[in-house]
A and B are shown apart, each in its own frame.
Chain A
Amino acid sequence: MVNPVLLLAVPMGLAFTVPVIERITGRVSRWVPVAAMLFNLVLCVRLIPAVLEGPVIVQLGGFVPPFGINLYVGPLGLFFAGLIALAGLVISVYSLTYIRTGPLARYHMLYILLLVGATGVALTGDLFNLFVFFEILCISSYALVAYNGDRAGLESSVKYLIQGSVGSSMLLVGIGMLYGIFGTLNMADIARSVGMVDQGVLFVPLIFMLGGLGVEAAIFPMNAWLPDAHSSAPSSISAVLSGIAIEVGLYAVARMVFTVFGISDLFLFLAFLGVLTLLIGEMCAFAQSNIKRMLAYSSIGQIGLILFALAVASGVTVTGGLFQFVNHTFSKGLLFLSAGYLIYRSGSMEISSLQGMGRRMPLTSLAFTVGSFSLVGLPPFAGFPGKFLIVRGALERGGTVIVVLTGLVLLCTILEGAYFFRVVQALYFREGISGGSGERAPAAAAVAMILLMMLILALGAYPQFAETFLRSAASDLMGAVEHVGSVL
């Protein structure tokens, strides 16, 4: 069996060779992210059979947990690593031609580092290690948001940096408190002894950690940075930030709540928070006239939806929530990637300037349409099974509060449909206005968009393939006892 630590070591090693390769020959360096992510994807596929039999525990440096740092490669961690590798691969193919100006080598290096950080968060079994990988993810995304070096990019990047650093600091305080209480940083070790401590004592570190991770996950009161950062970054980076970075933040929140703390009193509060995030995100998205800002607010809404699904905490909704993770990564990735070239072509981010694009850029417009239909949750696309599972699971779970919240979720879907269909209508059914450059999406970008469209259609047509794997991932997330048993 291959060692899962290569999932982190190889891309990180490749990331630091990018500047060297750039020195030797400038034309090869942009292919490095593609190679790194392809390697990760192959490795993830090869690990699937072993992981389905039981989680793979890697002891880094040969130290036995809880004394050493361990990687926990369960179905859930592998699911995230694979998702990151797949989305990272497609988006790196897109940025082969999309990113043409600026310090290219640094872009590709930071891009790989961002994905390595995300993979590390998904795989690690140690709290401080989680913090370190989170910082790798955050620092590279601060830099990438400002990649264009324009006014909007720098301003949003500084805002993101300050809010993100405060969030990371809160996370570190929470981790410190946990170390003070338990004398260990290993997640499984803490989960084992968490029942022996007074719940009131745990409340303070939990709030610190949820607050800190919530900034990165863009949960409602802490998401002021997101619309600016996601709309000012280059489109390929917006796709990674929306599709991977905030989802990894939400994954970390779920890991804390389910595995480490195992607190079920908090679920109703988190479900409320999720629906609140969903409502705020969708209502703000509805009011936007700038297409990238609209997509950014829609990401906030999706995070709220997934948080709600995880917080209802029945097997079906968690599976649905994980399905929605996949759907959001693919669809939002596709939307940002196609929006990137729509914006190039029209020369403006305003939705009104996109009128008539359906005839001038048929493929890109089709990609945008598929992405928005999938995100709204129309049946032949990947969004439908996810939302269906969430709503079904929540109604099965019952309880007046949950049913009312589910009603609100459905209401938000209508809002979502309204603003996405408005854009699709502008693309196809409005008279075009001339202007902007005559640039078409080049081959690499077209390949990336077609790949994502095919993935969305395949997932929508055959959800049961993904569902079996996702069901074991869901039980991995909710089974703290098995986690403890397999690590220690």
Chain B
Amino acid sequence: MTFLNEYAFYIGAFGLILIGLLTILLRHHLIKLIIGLSIMETGINLFLIAIGYISRGTAPIFPVDGGAGTVMVDPVPQALVLTAIVIGVAVLAMALGMAIRLHGHYGTLDMRRIKELKW
């Protein structure tokens, strides 16, 4: 059980990344692909947060009394995740916008039927 306790966040994070990746690889519907992409990004954000997490640590903000004796988590990964979330939102918006346009052209979002270009 100690193994699970220690690595629960990592298992969860990579679980989410794998679920997202499998969704992207196995599904053909564009919206499902985008959902897979989103799940993968969530997994990555969780992974980044888990790297900086210290057991029972608090938010890295210094209280007025100087906060002696409190354990704080690493703030750098949290800053990275904030940036990564913003980027993820931009990509998501872009992808959904394209899905709308694509549906206008083809009348479907099934990627098996949207293939005019080939190798």
A residues near B (Cβ < 8 Å) are: 128, 132, 135, 139, 142-143, 146, 149-152, 154-158, 161-162, 165-166, 169, 172-173, 176, 179-180, 185, 224, 227-228, 231-232, 284
Contact between B51 and A142 (Cβ–Cβ < 8 Å)?
no
A158 and B24 CA atoms in complex are apart in Å by: 13
Contact between B37 and A162 (Cβ–Cβ < 8 Å)?
yes
The 22 listed contacts between A and B (C-beta, < 8 Å) are: A128-B83, A132-B83, A135-B91, A139-B94, A151-B105, A151-B106, A151-B116, A155-B102, A155-B115, A155-B116, A157-B98, A161-B91, A161-B94, A161-B98, A162-B33, A165-B95, A166-B40, A172-B48, A173-B44, A180-B51, A232-B117, A284-B119
Within 8 A of A (CB), among B83-109: 83-84, 87, 90-91, 94-95, 98-99, 101-102, 105-106
Contact between B94 and A143 (Cβ–Cβ < 8 Å)?
yes
Contact between A172 and B24 (Cβ–Cβ < 8 Å)?
no
Contact between B77 and A158 (Cβ–Cβ < 8 Å)?
no
List the B side residues contacting A162 at CB < 8 Å.
24, 33, 37, 95
Contact between B91 and A139 (Cβ–Cβ < 8 Å)?
yes
A250 and B51 CA atoms in complex are apart in Å by: 28
A332 and B7 CA atoms in complex are apart in Å by: 49
B residues near A (Cβ < 8 Å) are: 17, 21, 24, 30, 33, 37, 40-41, 44, 47-48, 51, 76-77, 80, 83-84, 87, 90-91, 94-95, 98-99, 101-102, 105-106, 114-117, 119
List the B side residues contacting A146 at CB < 8 Å.
98, 101
Contact between A142 and B94 (Cβ–Cβ < 8 Å)?
yes
Contact between A228 and B87 (Cβ–Cβ < 8 Å)?
no
Partner of A228, one of B51, B84, B91, B117: B117
Partner of A154, one of B44, B105, B115, B119: B105
Residue picked from A142, A146, A151, A232, most chain B C-beta under 10 Å: A151
Residue picked from A146, A151, A157, A165, most chain B C-beta under 10 Å: A165
Residue picked from A150, A152, A166, most chain B C-beta under 10 Å: A166
Contact between B44 and A176 (Cβ–Cβ < 8 Å)?
yes
List the A side residues contacting B91 at CB < 8 Å.
135, 139, 161, 165
| Minimum distance in angstroms from B98 CB to a CB of chain A | 5
List the A side residues contacting B48 at CB < 8 Å.
172, 176, 179
A228 and B101 CA atoms in complex are apart in Å by: 18
List the A side residues contacting B87 at CB < 8 Å.
132, 135, 139
Contact between A173 and B17 (Cβ–Cβ < 8 Å)?
yes
List the B side residues contacting A169 at CB < 8 Å.
17, 37, 40-41, 44
List the B side residues contacting A149 at CB < 8 Å.
101
Contact between A172 and B119 (Cβ–Cβ < 8 Å)?
no
